[in-house]
Amino acid sequence: MSDSPIAVEQHGPELLHHFADADQQRDAATLGMWLFLATEIMFFGGMFCAYLIYRFWYYNEFAAGSRSLDIWLGTINTAVLICSSLTVALGVRAAQMGKRKLLVILLLLTIVFGFAFLGIKGVEWYGKYKEHHIPGNSFNVDDLVRDYPQLHIDPRHEQIYFSLYFAMTGLHALHMIIGVGLFVFLTYYAWKGRYTPKYYTPVEMGGLYWHFVDIVWIYLFPLLYLIDRHR
Amino acid sequence: MSEHIMSSKFYYTIWIALLCLTGITVAASFIDLGPFNAVVALVIATVKALLVVLFFMHVKYTSEKLTKIVIVSAIFWLFLLLALSMADYATRLWT
């Protein structure tokens, strides 16, 4: 490049050479992330659609399945995720202000909340395993048929509720695991001091992903846990 | 998106609002509202999602209009998926 008439400026990650300025680069990253989240909405959307159809058909079985879940563990998990979204939002703010230590602490707190959520989810799943509520050969809902005689439960339809429950919470938990993995990377690089007030796009994008997974749970919680407690 | 830094007090306010709405939606599920239980639960969930999208995800302050178009289109596409599917399944028993 020494014979080039134009001096080639050296760019850091805060402004790659194909962007006009830092604002444009950040807007491009944000737009790309939201496009990805749009595909994620459709990804989860297929499951929400299946849920809607089967809830419409087998309402009583869905109500009974919903009441067999632990509403308090679900509520605690919702609160845990909301707290994690707060630490993420404050983390992005810390990155904007260049507070490295605070950023690392908030990212670590987010990871702790993420593990807390997954742990509580695991406890719930284990409870369902012990109750034989996991669809498959040992699936048995005689307890629900006995407890809710007024609902006239068909075990095959009850199995559809639990299939959707495990598919939806499982896919959500997979997203949580990926999120925790992302945040481990973010924490490492934040600790290394890579993120500055001029360049914190990865923190911001990781945050968008985390908030999105939180929003999915905000809908899953009422749809799976709070269906109908009065029949 | 650019250099719009919110005060931490602002984020705490949103956080408290989200926790309160969670409490309200759980409490509402114990009251018998008939078919309106589902409506109340979904309205509260949507308010919570809006708070997260607008303030935690900074969409309210983004300068990029394209981002907002993408978000609205994504929700519209989801609505199409749900509405057209239900237009079939919900009307199959009609004679």
A contact residues 87-106, partner B, Cβ 8 Å cutoff: 88-90, 93, 96-97
Residue A85's pLDDT band (cuts 50, 70, 90): very high
Q: Chain B 18-77, CB below 8 Å of chain A: which residues?
A: 18-19, 22, 25-26, 29-30, 32, 37-38, 41-42, 44-45, 48-49, 52-53, 55-57, 62-64, 66-67, 70-71, 73-75, 77
**Sequence-distant contacts of A32-39: CB under 8 A, at least 24 apart:** A33/A205, A33/A208, A33/A209, A34/A208, A34/B67, A34/B70, A34/B71, A34/B74, A35/B70, A37/A208, A37/A209, A37/A212, A37/B74, A38/B70, A38/B71, A38/B73, A38/B74, A38/B77
Looking at residue A52, its pLDDT comes to 95
Contact B70 A38 (CB under 8 A): yes
Quick one: average pLDDT of A147-157? 93
Mean pLDDT throughout B29-49? 93
Question: Quick check: A199 contacting B, CB < 8 Å?
Answer: no
Q: What is the ipTM of this complex?
A: 0.93
**CA pair distance A77, A103, nearest whole angstrom:** 24
Q: Tell me if chain A has a CB within 8 Å of the CB of B91.
A: no
The SS3 assignment for B20 reads helix
Can you tell me whether residue A198 is helix, strand or coil?
A: coil
**Residue A191's pLDDT is what?**
96
- Cα torsion A218, A220, A221, A223 to 10°: value is 120
CB contact under 8 A, A226 and B29: yes
- Tell me the domains of chain A and their CATH numbers: 30-225 (1.20.120.80)
In sign, the C-alpha dihedral spanning A136, A142, A148, A152 is positive
Helix, strand and coil percent figures for chain A, each rounded to 5? 75, 0, 25
CA–CA dist A69, A226 (Å, integer): 9
pTM of the predicted model as reported, rounded to 2 decimal places: 0.92
What is the predicted pLDDT for the residue at A1? 47
Confidence of residue A170 (pLDDT cuts 50, 70, 90): very high
Question: Maximum CA pair distance of chain B?
Answer: 59
Q: Where are the domains of chain B?
A: 1-62, 64-95
B62 dihedral zone (left: phi>0; alpha: psi -120 to 50; beta): beta
| Rounded Cα–Cα distance for residues A19 and A13 (Å) | 11
- Mean pLDDT for A169-185 is 98
Distance from chain centroid for Cα B78: 13
* pLDDT tens digits along A4-53: 555 555 567 778 888 888 888 888 999 999 999 999 999 999 999 999 99
Averaged pLDDT for residues A125-132: 96
- Return the residue in A25, A76, A78, A204 with the most chain B beta carbons within 10 A, the one to mutate for interface testing: A78
Identity of the amino acid at A136: G
**For A77-97, what is the mean pLDDT?**
96
